[in-house]
């Protein structure tokens, strides 16, 4: 501390000492302020660290929550698919529920991946929070015949720790990454050399090979791709043309349409063979759906008809097949024409246009009707769908009908019995139905008659009750014939692709275009029913069909084609 100067007057010396004391006080206050600022800064940094940790923890919790939701959705979807495989369709909502779960799973998994990356980025800013990593499903192995490319990263030439050069390989770590090679095209030049005879001057040349289209402009594999994408995947030719152009190949719409015409014409003999096979069945599933057909200045509502032969539910040995036809309207004359020369059991809904086929006065023998219980159940189910009313928030809507709910339960009991006997012989199915289904069915009839007497004419449940009771004999036919199924789902599954695909192609260009669609759907759906890849089948058939005599065309039918490619079993296994 500085002493008082001796040469100053007393009053000045006092003022000087006062200023000096004030300066020292200010200096002390500054030191305290600096210390406080340092403490505040340290506390702020601590708070920032805590905030960062909290943000990382919150991001981690959100990522875990998203992952849990995605796993729950995946398990729910798997459960519903397993139920469908094991029990079949348990309700009218099964298919819609699976589609809804698939869309929900897609969104949840995407959100979970985003949240995982956000959590990892937040955890990287901290030292206390660990990054969250999702548990992903076990990936299926890649196909054995997939093309592989081995990329080896250059090995180090020296030790990264001591710099030594004496390195010995211990092993290697391999990461597999699936990559796409853009679709490649190639031109095949088919050369036929000409020779002249020096003695007679005749010209000799090998005969021209068969091509899927005239002049060999499109190869069978490419033509199969065009046909399958159009009729199997519902990709219109204008979209295919745009994609080809993006890949460097100019194939205008008119060119693709020309090739489709050649392809469908070449396949017509196989359509006729499938048609003959389907119409030789003892029992058929029949149904139809709408299709828009372009007419003069507008579109008309036409129909696509399907007839499915599927003998597998009663242990039949005939391969399954589907037959499609197209018409410009839904008049009954169309199914009457389709089935004019056929006799057997027709499983269908109660469409009035089919009545002429069941008429006792029909030329030849009338068809035997077997109506679909799924259609009958639908009317009751719509009045008993509690979840639908809850989803739509119908607080002031119509209450759930207890009669409709009871009818659904009774019909479900019949379907439960059917799931147990699916795939057994017709005799075994009939025996089980007589023992288990008949008492339930007779009791349901008596119950419906009693309940109907208590209802007013304006009751909503009266319509599905009359739908079932007025056709009771035809619904009851399944009890005495093991070949009959309770539902017409085999036909409805065959029409599902059309219902989804017509959103893409909007309409058929003409009646001939609709007929062409029916021909190609016949072959593609028949392939799928026999577990045959339609695209591979089309490519092979288009390459071979012209070289086969008519007597051997049956070898190209999907089930025969599949059998010819199955490996032969050893003699000891065949004997067993």
Chain centroid to CA 497: 10
Does residue 47 contact residue 39 with C-beta atoms inside 8 Å? no
Give residue limits of the domains in the chain: 34-123, 219-356+512-576, 373-487
pLDDT at 504 over 80: no
Which distant-in-sequence residues (6+ apart) come within 8 Å of 475 by Cβ?
Answer: 371, 373, 376, 468
What is the reported pLDDT for 532?
95
Distance between CA atoms of 413 and 407, rounded to whole angstroms?
A: 10
Angle at 201 between CA 199 and CA 203, to 5 degrees: 125
Which distant-in-sequence residues (6+ apart) come within 8 Å of 470 by Cβ?
Answer: none
Query: How long, in residues, is the chain?
Result: 576
Does residue 287 contact residue 495 with C-beta atoms inside 8 Å? yes
Which distant-in-sequence residues (6+ apart) come within 8 Å of 57 by Cβ?
Answer: 129
Strands 345-348 and 368-371: parallel
What is the reported pLDDT for 496?
87
Confidence of residue 76 (pLDDT cuts 50, 70, 90): confident
Q: What is the 3-state secondary structure (H, E, C) of 46-76?
A: HHHHHHHHHHHHHHHHHHHHHHHHHHHHHHH
Q: Whole-angstrom distance between the N-terminal and C-terminal Cα of the chain?
A: 115
Over the stretch 125-175, which tens digit does the pLDDT of each residue have?
Answer: 887 777 777 776 666 787 888 888 888 888 888 888 888 888 888 888 888
Does residue 354 contact residue 372 with C-beta atoms inside 8 Å? no
Which distant-in-sequence residues (6+ apart) come within 8 Å of 196 by Cβ?
Answer: 202, 203, 204
Which distant-in-sequence residues (6+ apart) come within 8 Å of 289 by Cβ?
Answer: 303, 304, 495, 498, 499
Confidence of residue 99 (pLDDT cuts 50, 70, 90): low
Helical pair 220-227 and 534-544, crossing angle rounded to 10 deg: 140
DSSP 8-state symbol, 210: P
What is the reported pLDDT for 90?
47
Written as one string, the DSSP assignment of 319-384 is PPEEEEEEESS--THHHHHHTTT--SEEEE---GGGHHHH-TTSSS-PPEEEE-HHHHHHHHHHHH
Q: Which of 139-148, 232-241, 318-327, 400-409 holds the top average pLDDT? A: 318-327
Q: Among candidates 135, 166, 117, 129, which has minimal Cα distance to 49?
A: 129
The residue that leads in pLDDT, 191 or 111, is: 191
Q: Among candidates 99, 53, 56, which has minimal Cα distance to 76?
A: 99
Beta bridge partners of 284: 346
Q: Is 96 helix (H, G, I), strand (E, B) or coil?
A: helix
pLDDT at 365 over 80: yes
The residue that leads in pLDDT, 386 or 395, is: 386
The residue that leads in pLDDT, 381 or 97, is: 381
Does residue 70 contact residue 112 with C-beta atoms inside 8 Å? yes
The residue that leads in pLDDT, 9 or 275, is: 275
pTM score of the predicted model: 0.74
Distance between CA atoms of 373 and 89, rounded to whole angstroms?
A: 12
pLDDT at 396 over 60: no
Over the stretch 208-260, which tens digit does the pLDDT of each residue have?
Answer: 777 766 666 788 999 999 999 999 998 888 889 999 988 888 888 888 888 88
Q: Where are the beta strands (DSSP E) in 133-282?
A: 195-196, 203-204
What is the rounded average pLDDT for all residues in the chain?
83
Angle at 555 between CA 311 and CA 225, to 5 degrees: 90
Over the stretch 529-538, which tens digit does the pLDDT of each residue have?
Answer: 999 999 999 9
């Amino acid at each position: 501390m500085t002493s008082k100067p001796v040469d100053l007057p007393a009053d000045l010396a006092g003022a000087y000492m006062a200023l000096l004391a004030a300066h020292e006080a200010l200096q002390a206050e500054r030191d305290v302020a600096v210390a406080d600022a340092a403490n505040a800064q340290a506390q702020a940094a601590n708070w920032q660290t805590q905030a960062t940790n909290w943000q990382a923890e919150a991001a981690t919790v959100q990522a875990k929550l998203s992952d849990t939701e995605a796993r729950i959705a995946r398990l729910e979807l798997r459960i519903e698919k397993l139920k469908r495989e094991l029990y079949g369709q348990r309700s009218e909502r099964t298919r819609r529920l699976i589609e809804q779960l698939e869309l929900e799973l897609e969104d949840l998994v995407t959100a979970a991946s985003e949240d995982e990356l956000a959590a990892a980025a937040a955890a990287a800013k901290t030292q206390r929070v660990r990054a969250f990593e999702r548990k992903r499903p076990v990936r299926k192995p890649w196909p054995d015949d997939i093309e592989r490319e081995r990329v080896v990263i250059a090995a180090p030439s020296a030790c990264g720790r001591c710099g030594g050069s004496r390195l010995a390989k211990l092993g290697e770590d391999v990461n597999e990454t699936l990559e796409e090679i853009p679709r490649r095209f190639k031109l095949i030049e088919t050369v036929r050399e000409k020779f002249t005879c020096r003695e007679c001057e005749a010209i000799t040349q090998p005969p021209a090979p068969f091509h899927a289209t005239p002049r060999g402009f499109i190869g069978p594999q490419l033509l199969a791709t065009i046909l399958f994408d159009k009729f199997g995947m519902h990709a219109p030719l204008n979209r295919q043309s745009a994609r080809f152009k993006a890949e460097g190949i100019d194939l205008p719409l008119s060119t693709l349409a020309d090739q489709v015409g050649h392809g469908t014409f070449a396949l017509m003999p196989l359509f006729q063979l499938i048609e003959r096979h389907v119409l030789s069945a003892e029992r058929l599933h029949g149904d139809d759906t709408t299709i828009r057909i372009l007419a003069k200045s507008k579109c008309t509502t036409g129909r696509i008809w399907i007839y499915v032969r599927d003998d597998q539910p009663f242990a039949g040995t005939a391969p399954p097949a589907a037959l499609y036809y197209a018409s410009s309207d839904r008049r009954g004359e169309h199914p009457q024409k389709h089935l004019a020369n056929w006799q057997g059991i027709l499983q269908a809904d109660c469409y009035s246009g089919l009545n002429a086929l069941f008429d006792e006065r029909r030329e030849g023998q009338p068809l035997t009707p077997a109506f679909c219980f799924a259609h009958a159940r639908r009317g009751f189910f719509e009045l008993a769908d509690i979840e639908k009313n809850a989803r739509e928030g119908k607080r002031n809507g119509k209450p759930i009908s207890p009669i409709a709910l009871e009818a659904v339960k009774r019909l479900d009991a019949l379907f439960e019995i059917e799931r147990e006997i699916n795939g057994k012989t017709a005799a075994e199915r009939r025996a089980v139905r007589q023992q288990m289904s008949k008492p339930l069915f007779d009791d349901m009839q008596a119950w419906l008659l009693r309940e109907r007497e208590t209802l007013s004419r304006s009751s909503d449940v009266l319509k599905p009750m009359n739908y079932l009771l007025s056709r009771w004999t035809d619904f009851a036919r399944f009890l005495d014939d093991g070949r009959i199924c309770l539902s017409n789902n085999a036909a409805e599954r065959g029409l599902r692709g059309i219902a989804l695909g017509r959103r893409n192609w909007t309409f058929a260009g003409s009646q001939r275009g609709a007929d062409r669609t029916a021909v190609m759907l016949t072959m593609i759906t028949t392939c799928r029913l026999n577990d045959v890849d339609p695209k591979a089948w089309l490519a092979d058939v288009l390459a071979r069909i012209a070289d086969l005599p008519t007597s051997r065309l049956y070898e190209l039918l999907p089930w025969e084609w599949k059998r010819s490619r199955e490996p032969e079993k050893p003699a000891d296994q065949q004997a067993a």
